[in-house]
Structure 1
Amino acid sequence: MKGFVQDIEDLAVKNDEFRRVIYTAKHCQLVLMALKPKEEIGAEVHKLDQFFRVEEGAGEAVLDGVRTAIRAGFAVVVPAGTNHNIINTGSAPLKLYTLYAPPNHRDGVVHHTREDAEADNEHFDGKTTE
């Protein structure tokens, strides 16, 4: 079977990696993320659209300076060109997944920590999961 069909909530809640790319299609990419308490993704701007879904924990989404409290069940859509950040403001890990459209990272990449992600200058190389 082509494609991805799995329990994304379960995968997201069990994930302890800062970033784990789990599926890359030609026009979008599915990535698990886990932020430690007080950790953040870091302010960034993409030339692509991005969607976040929070599965566990509490935090804050910052889009072009506007701060909004988020928690399990919240979705955040970040249009291309928007300065954005996701911050864990809670005392437990913030578990979420994100969709990039088009893909942003190398398929299968795993960054155990934010520091690992920042040290790795990787980008999508055109190779998909299938």
Structure 2
Amino acid sequence: MRGFVDDIEKLTEENTDFRRVLYTGQNLQLVLMSIQPGDDIGEEVHDDRDQFFRVEQGEGEAWIDGNRSPVKADYAFIVPAGARHNVKCTGNQPLRLYTVYGPPEHREGTVHATKAQAEAHEEHFDGVTTE
């Protein structure tokens, strides 16, 4: 078993894809995101999974059950299972962050260059892990 070891700050700051799955375990999944200025991830609810976010670059807003919180580099926030949420980029540069789902949300190896691609290819974790 090799797990995942890398410079997450560097990987996040260099990521230009809307969504890029880095590692999928049985109980956790690590995903990079880059949200363009004025865009968002889209309002969603995960009834059966918690989600941790860490912002590395940019400025934005985290919406959790109707409560708005400004976020920027070095901020982290957690969305508990069942909470309606959205993340929006409010700055002039992309909002670059990583997120950890527990349990996994997306299929292993998923890469969506844009939000439009992500919306066109809705897929969910199918039980296949990185290793």
After TM superposition, the score normalised by the length of structure 2 is 0.98
Residue 121 of structure 1 deviates from its aligned partner by 2.1
**What residue identity is the alignment partner of 1:104?**
E
- SS, match of residue 9 in structure 1: helix
- SS, match of residue 45 in structure 2: coil
Mapped to 1, the partners of 2:103 and 2:124 lie a distance apart of: 12
Mapped to 1, the partners of 2:118 and 2:20 lie a distance apart of: 10
Mapped to 1, the partners of 2:16 and 2:104 lie a distance apart of: 22
Aligned to 1:119: 120
Could you list the structure 1 runs, at least 4 aligned residues long, displaced by more than 2 angstroms after superposition: none
**What residue identity is the alignment partner of 2:19?**
R
**What residue identity is the alignment partner of 1:118?**
E
Give yes or no for the alignment of 1:66 onto 2:91.
Answer: no
Q: How does 1:33-72 map to 2 (within 5 A)?
A: 33-47=33-47, 48-72=49-73
Query: What do the CA deviations read for 1:71-91 (whole angstroms, capped 9, x no partner)?
Result: 000001000000000000000
Aligned to 1:2: 2
Mapped to 1, the partners of 2:34 and 2:23 lie a distance apart of: 17
Aligned to 1:109: 110
Aligned-pair Cα RMSD in Å: 0.6
How many residues are aligned here?
Answer: 130
Mapped to 2, the partners of 1:24 and 1:116 lie a distance apart of: 20
After TM superposition, the score normalised by the length of structure 1 is 0.98
- SS, match of residue 103 in structure 1: coil
Aligned to 1:78: 79
Residue 122 of structure 1 deviates from its aligned partner by 1.0
- SS, match of residue 44 in structure 2: coil
**What residue identity is the alignment partner of 1:38?**
G
Mapped to 1, the partners of 2:27 and 2:73 lie a distance apart of: 27
Aligned to 1:29: 29
- SS, match of residue 9 in structure 2: helix
**What residue identity is the alignment partner of 1:7?**
D
Gaps of 5+ in 2: none
